[in-house]
Amino acid sequence: MKKFKNKCYVLLGMIAIFNGAIAQESKIAEAKIISVSNPLQSHGIQVGDVLSRRIVLEVKAPYQLSQQTLPMKGVRTNDVELSQISITKTASQKVIRYSIDLRYQVFSAVFVPSVLQLPAEKFALTGGPQALSVNLPAWKFWFSPLAPKGMNKARENMHMQFKPTLIDLQAHANKLLVFSGMLIVGLLGLVYINADKRWLPFMNGAFAKAHRKLKKLPRNTDGEKQALSYMHQAFNQLHGGNLFANELNRFLSKHPSFVKLSKEIEAFFEQSNQSLFAQNTQNSEQLMADLMILSRSLRDCERGV
């Protein structure tokens, strides 16, 4: 309970200080300023700007606000002109509450930033035995000029308009071009290596054809004979005439890209002779698989891969 009382005293003390502050402004008991609302921004104010203030007063009866002594609309004080004043009155039995809206417009023509102020106003009260008044303090703000001092002609202050500098993208463009080229070449290479179709140039070589045909053959004795025929046709086509085992050296000297497969080619001719002429039974399935590998390798040689 004691604590509660202490808190109440502190609160009352604070209220007393607050009232004292307001009383300091009004300095009378018959009227008091309830609130003063100033513009939110006190800097960057430029010529022509309109600033508003609102003051709310409470006046005890029998006093009331004197209408004749209100600030005059159009009065200019230090380049700040009162452009509008409006009063709203709310009356009760004992007090009258006034809400006064003041609108000022700044007409200063100075060329340097300077401190101006909304002027202090005085509101007189009538109706009572004493001549009382309520003072509204001045409100200072920074005025920002629109133009620098000494500007005579606009031309002197004109600057040449430069086109904004563009960011240099050439290096990126070059990189993009190079990488795109590499990508395309790589893709073409992959297609060239792996594709069986003939929709790219140089893809219709003798061994490419043979490889395509071999893939369609059955894995039996008939297929084996046919596969050997296709392979021989491919060799003959590339050689420009019939190619036999005893002419392999001449063939390889004419087509050096096949040299790395010389052993495989020799083995092929031997297998072919065995199958076609010696009639030795061979494992057709295995032979066909070998021929598939060989034809693919020869196709790669043919394409220079």
Partner 1 sequence: MVPPLDHQLSDWRNHALKLENEVKKVIVGQDKAIRLMNIAIFARGHVLLEGGVGVGKTTLLQSIARCIGGAYERIEGTVDLMPNDLIYHTYLGEDGRPKIDEGPLLRAGENLSVFFFNEINRARPQVHALMLRVMAERHISAFKKEYRLPHMVVFADRNQVEKNETFEIPSAARDRFMMEIPIEIPEDRELRKSLMFNVKFQHAENLTKQVESNVLQFDQLNNFSDILQSHIKSSPTLEDYAIDLWESTQSPAKYGIKMDTVDVNRLVHTGASPRGMGMLLKAARVNAWLMNRDSLYPEDIHAVFHELIAHRLVFNSMYENRRTQLAREFTTQILNTVAVPAQAKAA
> Where do contacts with partner 1 occur on this chain (CB under 8 A)?
225-226, 228-230, 232-233, 236, 241-242, 244-246, 273, 276-279
Residue 114 falls in which region: left (phi positive, over 0), alpha (psi -120 to 50) or beta: beta
Minimum distance of partner 1 from residue 292's CB (angstroms): 17
β-partners of residue 280 are: none
HSE-CB of 76 using CA atoms within 13 angstroms: 6
* Helix 221-239 × helix 262-276 angle, to 10°: 130
Under 8 Å CB-to-CB from 81, ≥6 apart: which residues? Answer: 74, 75, 104, 105, 106, 107
Amino acid at 27: K
Q: Which two tokens stand for residue 68?
A: 């004749």
> What strand order describes the sheet that includes 64-65?
64-65, 121-126, 132-136
State in angstroms the smallest separation of the CB of 232 from partner 1.
6
Residues 6+ apart with CB under 8 A from 195: 203
User: Closer to partner 1 at the Cβ: 242 or 249?
Assistant: 242
DSSP 229-260: HHHHHHHHHHHTS---GGGHHHHHHH-GGGGG
**Phi, psi for 54 (deg, rounded to 5):** -135, 135
| Backbone φ, ψ for residue 251 (5° rounding) | -60, -45
Among 21, 43, 40, 47, which Cα is nearest to 32's? 21
Q: Smaller CB distance to partner 1: residue 164 or 241? A: 241
Comparing CB distances to partner 1, the nearer of 97 and 225 is 225
CB of 205 to partner 1, least distance (A): 17
How is residue 275 annotated by DSSP? H
* C-beta of 51 vs 234, nearer to partner 1: 234
Q: How far is the CB of 282 from partner 1 (least distance, A)?
A: 13
CB of 241 to partner 1, least distance (A): 4
Shortest distance, position 221 Cβ to partner 1, whole Å = 13
Q: Smallest gap, in angstroms, from Cβ of residue 300 to partner 1?
A: 23
| Closest distance of CB 240 from partner 1, Å | 8
Q: Would you say 52 or 226 has its CB closer to partner 1? A: 226
Question: Is residue 142 a contact partner of residue 115, using CB atoms and an 8 Å limit?
Answer: yes
Closer residue to partner 1 in complex, CB, 192/244:
244
Least distance between partner 1 and beta carbon 290 (Å) = 18
**Smaller CB separation from partner 1, 270 or 285:** 270
Distance CA 305, CA 290 (A): 20
Q: Which is nearer to partner 1, 15 or 245 (CB)?
A: 245
Q: Choose between 26 and 275: whose C-beta lies nearer to partner 1.
A: 275
